[in-house]
Homo-oligomer: A and B are copies of this chain.
Amino acid sequence: MLEAKLAEAGTLKKMLDAIKELVTDANFECNEEGITLQAMDNSHVALVSVLLEATGFKRYRCDRPMPLGVNLTSLTKVLKCAKDDDECTIKAADEADVLNLVYEAKSSDRIAEYDMKLMDIDSDTLGIPDTEYDARVTMPSSEFTRIVRDLSLLGESVRIEVSKEGIRFASDGEAANGSVLLRQSDAIGKVAQSKVTSLKKEDGDGEVVDVDEEDEDEEAPDGKVKKEKGVKTEAAEDDDVDMDEDEEFKANSDGEEEQDEDEGDEGSESGKKRKKSSSSNKPSKKAKTASSSKRKGKGKKADSDDEDGEPGVRIEMNAHVSLTFSLKYLVNFSKSATLCNRVQLMMSNDVPLLVSYEFGQGHIRYYLAPKIGDD
């Protein structure tokens, strides 16, 4: 059975608000490490990956792994019945067909209890390779929100380009073209813009994740992306690609360099390896992928980019990248800004963009295949 008590129902509310428009039904995979959710968006163009670490709960217990099939629209309604600062306990018996949610007001003279129906959902666990990217940009999430919203008024897509100059977001529209350039913030200058040893998803706040282990990592036996279901990069046509359920999500699969991605389900290809990350030469590591949690044991929950990291823009790149994405999705992703003040954009040419919001108790990550014709 599962029993997890969250100090603030608001965390869950914001998380649902962030993804409910993208995904309507999904399995919350619960195990002793925490709760994860991975799903393709309704149109199979983007992939959403959510993690809530067990350690982020006030109390957490999950005897055995169990998937909770939830209709996010229903869960959103039920969560609307909680105040942001209510304590929220979610419980589900093994094999249960209902999820029980209890909200306790701080004042404690109000207790609300809800039982929500669960459903069976095909859980095609998606394989999300943990790869290295040619560029990582960390910026205030509000800034990212503002930029994609502004540009979405002009056009359908945006070209994101990271160069020595900084990061540029440019969109061409019928009536007008727009371009926003963010330069590295002064205080951060030294760190970024320089060749970085390895660009992996950052775990902590503004600190490059320890790449070491990764370097030595398996160099990618086949150097190929696994084939689980996922957003396929190349497939991306003019419009975003629609990935099939059974495809593998090769974040940047055969992409520029290679990263492996084993997906969870098959596990067979797990042994793959990927090799040099873009320009740099660190051999990338692999595996951990979506279950990022394990990345480095991640005991670091609270210290990440969570709420307010440093202000400003931090740019790290090993190679110039230029990719084009659908603004509609980016605008959608940017809703997660309510969860965390900083956002990380990870890019390599021809590989799906990773937009990552790391907060105290976990993260929300979005993968979006680039439109072709960008390079």
Contact = CB atoms under 8 A, between A and B. Distances in A.
A78 B175 CA distance: 9
A175 B74 contact: yes
B176 A111 contact: no
A150 interface: yes
Nearest to A311: B107
A113 B109 CA distance: 49
A153 B81 contact: yes
A121 interface: no
A183 interface: yes
A113 B154 CA distance: 12
A116 B175 contact: yes
Given A117-B175, A175-B74, A150 B112 contact: yes
A176 B153 CA distance: 38
Interface string A148-184: 0011011000000000000000000011111111111
A106 B328 CA distance: 29
Given A115-B176, A179-B114, A81 B312 contact: no
A154 B109 contact: no
A176 B102 CA distance: 13
A186 interface: yes
A175 B71 CA distance: 9
Q: Quick one: copies of this chain in the complex?
A: 2
Given A80-B150, A153-B77, A153-B80, A176 B109 contact: no
A110 interface: yes
A74 B150 CA distance: 13
Contact of A181 (B110, B115, B312): B110
A189 to B, nearest CB: 11
A185 interface: yes
A182 B109 contact: yes
A112 B180 contact: yes
Contacts of A80: 150, 153
A313 interface: yes
A142 to B, nearest CB: 11
Contacts of A116: 175-176
Interface string A180-204: 1111111000000000000000000
Contacts of A181: 110-113
A115 B177 contact: yes
Contacts of A81: 150-151, 153-154, 178, 180
Given A77-B175, A109-B184, 6 more contacts: A74-B176, A110-B181, A112-B181, A113-B179, A116-B175, A117-B175
Interface of A: 71, 73-74, 77-78, 80-81, 109-117, 143, 150-151, 153-154, 174-186, 312-313
